Chain A
Amino acid sequence: MSAINLLPSDLLPSAPLIRTANFLKSIVTVSFVIFILILVGSVAFFTINSLSLRSSTLKQEETKNSIKSLEETEQGLVLVKDRLAKIKEVYAMESSSDEIDRLSTVYSQVTEGVILSEAVAAKDKLETTYIVSDSSLLTRLMAGIVTEGSFKRIDLYSFGFNPNVGYIISLGYSSK
């Protein structure tokens, strides 16, 4: 038996509005389902993250304890690094260290009959004074120093002759 609706037709909602309401209801239901799914996924994600965080914290604590047992080594390493930095700092400072090496090179040219009577090695400065008994030795000395090639510039500061000792020659060396 079919249902009989005795209500006047103006008391019923219009057909397009019923369709719109039903459509809206189904959209909201689907959205609710999606929301619940996202919520469940998020809770699962949160739980997994919590577990990972806990295990990572535990692992960190273990490693920290292990590092604490190596504290002496760490202190040593810090000290070594600090001292090495200081040594580098000293090596980077200007000193007459290079000039002393060059003095050693220059001295290798001194032969019999040549006297290195004075040498001054300071920062970026090397000066020497020679007493040479004869001119052939003087030529050999000068040739030796020039061909040695350690210096960019050699300045002749003074050149003299004393009949008692021979030639007195002062040189200044520059490697910059």
Chain B
Amino acid sequence: MPVPKKMLPPNIQVFIVPMALLVALAFFSFIAFKFGFSKISEQRGKLEEAKKNEIVLSQKESVLRQIQGQVPAYVDTVAMVVPEKNPSLMMITQLKNLSLAKGLTLGDIKVGSEVGKGTTLSGIDIQFDVDGAMPNIIDFLTSTKTLAPVSSIERAKINQAAGVVRAEIEMKVYFASFPERLPSLTDPVRELTADEKDILTKLSGFTFPATSVFTGQPPSFRENPFN
């Protein structure tokens, strides 16, 4: 049974109100710190992240707008230089065109199997011979560096006997599957670096395979062959 206030000693009675106020203050302070301030700090974290995302997104938008006009041309170039699928046929055409331009005869073409399948960069070995004049063969070899798709000469052996010059060349042509996923919307976008721009400038001097686009024909009347 609680003791009535009047029954308490006067020395204790005098502390009841201040102590009650103190307990109330402690209680409200606890509630405020426990819920209010944790909510505020959580909200501040969210706000900081939102501001950071806002900066990243606006930077991304500005970069994309800036390069919007140039990217399609770059895409065509780089997709020809490192194609998605086996480029051996494309390369053979390029080699034939180059050998014709240099007055050489291309022959004994052999295409090997795919090397580095499943990795980020795959390659195909192509072996061939070229016959013709020595300076033209050397010029041919140096010109292969600027052929699209990108390739590397692994070995070249040139023989000259009885006035006939023949080169046996081993070349590797590269290709790689296209990226399948776009980065997240809030991921920052990197501009093209000076190094990358240099490569793009170099690629503009490449010889690309001639391609043509076939336009579909509209349906036309077909005569009945039995009439």
Contacts and interface: CB of A to CB of B under 8 A. Distances in A.
Contacts of A66: 61
B211 to A, nearest CB: 17
A78 B180 CA distance: 10
A14 interface: yes
A14 B11 contact: yes
A87 B11 contact: no
Dominant secondary structure at the A interface: helix
B111 to A, nearest CB: 18
B57 A35 contact: no
B121 A90 contact: yes
Which of the listed residues A38, A81, A103 has the most CB atoms from chain B within 10 Å of its own CB?
A81
B185 A64 contact: yes
Interface residues of A, number: 69
A118 B160 contact: yes
Interface residues of B, number: 78
B36 A42 contact: yes
Given A64-B57, A80-B78, A115 B160 contact: yes
Given A67-B57, A86-B121, A123-B154, A11 B10 contact: yes
Contacts of A88: 195, 199
Given A63-B61, A79-B78, A80-B74, A46 B43 contact: yes
The 4 closest A-B pairs by CB, nearest first: A95-B152, A83-B78, A76-B71, A24-B18
16 contacts: A25-B21, A46-B39, A63-B61, A67-B60, A73-B71, A74-B182, A76-B71, A81-B190, A83-B78, A83-B79, A84-B196, A86-B174, A86-B176, A93-B152, A96-B152, A117-B159
